[in-house]
Amino acid sequence: MTIALRLGSVLFGFVVGIGLPAAMAQTPAPFASPGRSAWTFDDPVWKAIDVATYTPEACAARPCPLVIVIHGAGRNAANSRDYWVEAADRYGVLIAAPRFEKERFSSRLFQQGNVRGEPDHSRWTFGVVERLFDAARAAGRAAGSSYRLFGHSAGGQFVHRMALLMPEARFSKAVVANAGYYTRPVDAAAAGGFAYPYSLGGTPATDTTLRVALGKQVTVMLGDRDTDAAHRELNRSPGAEDQGATRFARGQRFMADIRATAVRLGVPLQWREVVVPGVAHQQKRMAQAAAPELLGP
């Protein structure tokens, strides 16, 4: 009996011994060591958010600028992070890619930002990005008072809506790549009766907030071969189809709206349209094209 009890104690201690480090390994401090890692960010609103991270060797012992990468509809944050590893090493930046898993974050909560019907702006999903930046700064890892922001496909939807509806956000530059459809910077009446997420109709956006939004440095990048009207992930709702048959056409239509809105408001426009030749709906290649745009001078 004594031997059995001692053996049980030894086994219990062994399990605890390996269990505690394993649990701790799941939630390390952000960017604690060089290379790829994972961070569970305890967001005060949405609770545990898994974040795929990368820390270059050059940033191991000092704070570095932060790039936040928003994944697409596949919800693969690790892949989205990996597409930025080479740029992170080249430019000396940290990469953080939060994961908005489908089980908790429907399209309305993810790429539409939980804006529709939600008067409490703290519950807009865009706020996760701002609070993640605060956490990285509080940990002494993210340098500066701003971050860079990139989103591809559904992530591009997230990023451009955040830029339009949360112009106070602290990103210094943002790149929107190959979004599936857009929130046009007009009211529902001017958008053929389509309210949010197809236009700003039904949102708190005003001409005042739009003026601020259009002064942010945002680049809309369009692969000139992202022209498959039958793509399996292309949104074909009436509001999206009204913007064009393909992602490329919808992006061009959106930027025409952005330019017209800047003229109407009489403000200098900081948003740019960049066409990436030879690229279809390919996140890796768009990330490679976006790196100098986002991280260069």
- What are the pLDDT digits (tens) for 240-258? 999 999 999 999 999 999 9
What are the C-alpha distances in Å from 89 to residues 6, 174, 291, 297? 51, 19, 11, 16
One domain for residues 73 and 2: no
pLDDT in tens, 232-244: 999 999 999 999 9
One domain for residues 6 and 81: no
One domain for residues 14 and 54: no
One domain for residues 193 and 283: yes
Query: For residue 87, what is the enclosing H or E element?
Result: helix 85-91
What CATH number is given to the structural domain containing 263?
Answer: 3.40.50.1820
What pTM was computed for the model? 0.91
What is the domain count for the chain? 2
What does the pLDDT read at residue 27?
59
One domain for residues 189 and 113: yes
CA-wise closest residue to 94 among 147, 25, 172: 147
Q: Which domain holds residue 51?
A: 31-295
pLDDT in tens, 263-297: 999 999 999 999 999 999 999 999 999 999 999 98
What does the pLDDT read at residue 39?
96
One domain for residues 264 and 170: yes
pLDDT in tens, 159-175: 999 999 999 999 999 99
What's the rounded Cα separation, in Å, for the pair 53 and 60?
A: 13
One domain for residues 231 and 270: yes
